């Protein structure tokens, strides 16, 4: 513990953000890092407490408390404070394959469980983590580590999201020959096309992929397993196959008029927006409007986003950058409290209201928070050509019946018409896509997640394994990385009879 009184001497300070009205003019990351000295002070706030909940990764009341990767947080906080960043890097990479991803997009369950947050402000763990890895890249510490011995075992990883990349990285370190198949034109999966550029600039992903390629990992883009790549050939050519295709089935709505032109899944909107953004050198506002993708451009249109999670917020931020005329975000659930309730004590995950960057930007542009709570869509209203022109919403409430069950009911007389030419459904995901699971013949559960042995990653099909959202359902990037590392251990043991992977 470098500075025992650090948490008393220094207040929590995090990176400053570019003002909303300025940052919406581009798609760049908008947080300005602290100076090296200021970051050292923030690391000094770590108490090195005897029971570090920050790294526990426990499930409490159906939610994670602390880091799912069990990062050695107090250790590298102390090393940052003592200006021993190269040693901090070693401790960080021991548990986290991609700190540059989690340091940007993770909701930081570690900070929510930080002991300092019990009676004050948490240590800025997420930014400390990002400091370590970015210092390493800037100072050429992240050099390719090529295995000195190869096992001649071949492994195919299907999907290049965080889970697939983590599995590939670990197995390559063991000396196995790994090939990653990605159905899209760029590597990264959810990281590339599911998260907007302003949260995770794509050069960050490409930098990591280039390092992995230099270490001997192969990547095949436009390789859609189950369609243009046959599972039979993979099972014949490879000693093990890992399915890490994510939870790609978006949850739909069944309201009247759902077939209106102008209603899209959020995942499709974000993917096409990012793809167009990259193809036009980050100038989507001036992109070609004479092709089909123009339908997904919110410029001068009234936009409604259905869903209040991170994906919904990302849609809000993207639509504002494209120049939408108005933005409304519909949430079925009531607004959460601004502070922890008594039945939600530390170190549980805090079930409190969060105003994210997209809502901040909408408030700055339009003068009010875009969220409409306890509301759902009753009808998509079409014009004579079948194009969406408005949506009809209605307020809802949960009613407790005599048998103690809870039922969602409409509030009479609460219907409202909202102008809308683009409606984005961000209501979550249901699980894996059937064309992949059917192609391999793996069993799925009632939520369409791939079945595995309890606490394991093997499927009912010999030498086929699965990990990430495809196994556990929609979750966080940090959980996907954990799953990728764990499936790598199991595959390594399956191939070699033992494993020394962490």
Pairing of strands 371-372, 16-17: unpaired
CB within 8 Å of 146: residues ≥ 6 apart: 214, 215, 216
Check pLDDT > 80 for residue 287: no
Per-residue pLDDT tens over the stretch 289-337: 445 444 589 999 999 999 989 999 999 999 999 999 999 999 999 999 9
Task: Go through the domains of the chain in sequence order and give each one's CATH number.
Answer: 6-138 (1.10.1060.10), 154-248+430-496 (3.50.50.60), 263-425 (3.50.50.60)
Cα Rg of the chain (Å, integer): 23
Per-residue pLDDT tens over the stretch 439-470: 999 999 988 999 998 889 999 999 999 999 99
CB within 8 Å of 76: residues ≥ 6 apart: 88, 91, 92, 128, 129, 132
How far apart CA 332 and CA 346 sit, in angstroms, is 26
How far apart CA 304 and CA 2 sit, in angstroms, is 50
The answer to whether the beta carbons of residues 315 and 328 sit under 8 Å apart is no
DSSP H helices in 280-385 = 310-322, 357-366
How far apart CA 318 and CA 197 sit, in angstroms, is 9
The answer to whether the beta carbons of residues 247 and 469 sit under 8 Å apart is yes
Pairing of strands 240-243, 263-265: unpaired
CB within 8 Å of 57: residues ≥ 6 apart: 64, 65, 66, 67, 68, 69, 70, 482
Per-residue pLDDT tens over the stretch 118-141: 889 999 999 999 999 999 999 999
How far apart CA 162 and CA 379 sit, in angstroms, is 37
0.85 surpassed by pTM: yes
Q: How far apart are the first and last CA of the chain?
A: 26
Q: What per-residue confidence (pLDDT) applies to 119? A: 87
How far apart CA 224 and CA 222 sit, in angstroms, is 6
> How many residues make up the chain in this entry?
502
The answer to whether the beta carbons of residues 287 and 471 sit under 8 Å apart is no
Percent of the chain with pLDDT over 90: 88
């Amino acid at each position: 513990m470098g500075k025992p009184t650090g948490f008393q001497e220094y207040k929590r300070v995090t990176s400053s953000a570019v003002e909303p009205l300025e940052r919406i003019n581009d798609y760049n990351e908008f947080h300005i890092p602290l100076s090296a000295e200021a970051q050292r002070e923030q690391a000094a706030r770590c108490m090195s407490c005897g029971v570090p909940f920050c790294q526990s990764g426990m499930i409490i009341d159906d939610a994670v408390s602390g880091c799912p990767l069990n990062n050695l947080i107090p250790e590298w906080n102390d090393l940052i404070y003592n200006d021993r960043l190269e040693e901090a890097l070693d401790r960080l990479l021991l548990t986290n394959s991609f700190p540059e991803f989690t340091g940007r997009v993770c909701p930081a369950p570690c900070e929510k469980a930080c002991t300092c947050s019990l009676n004050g402000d948490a240590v800025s763990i997420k930014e400390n983590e990002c400091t370590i890895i970015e210092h390493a890249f800037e100072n050429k510490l992240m050099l390719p580590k090529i295995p000195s011995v190869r096992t001649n075992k071949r492994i195919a990883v299907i999907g290049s999201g965080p889970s697939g990349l983590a599995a590939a990285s670990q197995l390559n370190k063991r000396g196995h020959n790994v090939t990653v198949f990605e159905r899209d034109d760029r590597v990264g999966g959810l990281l590339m096309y599911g998260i907007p550029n302003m949260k995770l600039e794509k050069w960050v992903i490409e930098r990591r992929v280039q390092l992995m390629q230099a270490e001997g990992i192969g990547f095949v883009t436009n390789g859609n397993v189950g369609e243009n790549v046959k599972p039979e050939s993979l099972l014949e050519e490879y000693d093990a196959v890992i399915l890490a295709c994510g939870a790609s089935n978006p949850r739909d709505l069944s309201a009247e008029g759902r077939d209106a032109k102008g209603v899209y899944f959020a995942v499709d909107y974000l993917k096409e927006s990012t793809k167009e953004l990259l193809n036009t050198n980050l100038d989507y506002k001036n992109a070609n409007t004479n092709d089909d993708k123009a339908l997904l451009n919110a410029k001068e249109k009234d936009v409604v986003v259905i869903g209040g999670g991170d994906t919904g917020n990302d849609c809000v931020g993207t639509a504002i950058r494209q120049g939408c005329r108005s933005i409304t975000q519909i949430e079925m659930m009531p607004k959460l409290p601004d502070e922890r309730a008594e039945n939600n004590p530390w170190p549980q995950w805090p079930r409190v209201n969060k105003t994210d960057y997209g809502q901040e930007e909408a408030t700055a542009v339009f003068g009010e928070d875009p969220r409409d709570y306890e509301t759902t869509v009753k009808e998509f209203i079409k014009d004579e050509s079948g194009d969406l022109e408005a949506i009809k919403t209605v307020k809802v409430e949960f009613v407790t019946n005599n048998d103690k069950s809870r039922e969602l009911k409409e509030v009479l007389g609460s219907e409202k018409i909202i102008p809308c030419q683009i409606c984005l459904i961000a209501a979550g995901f249901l699980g894996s896509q059937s064309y992949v699971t059917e192609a391999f013949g793996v069993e799925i559960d009632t939520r369409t997640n791939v079945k595995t042995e309890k606490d394991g990653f093997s499927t009912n099909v010999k030498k086929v394994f699965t990990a990430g959202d495809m196994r556990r359902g929609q979750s966080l990037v940090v959980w996907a990385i954990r799953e990728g590392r764990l499936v790598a251990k199991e595959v390594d043991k399956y191939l070699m009879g033992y494993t020394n992977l962490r």
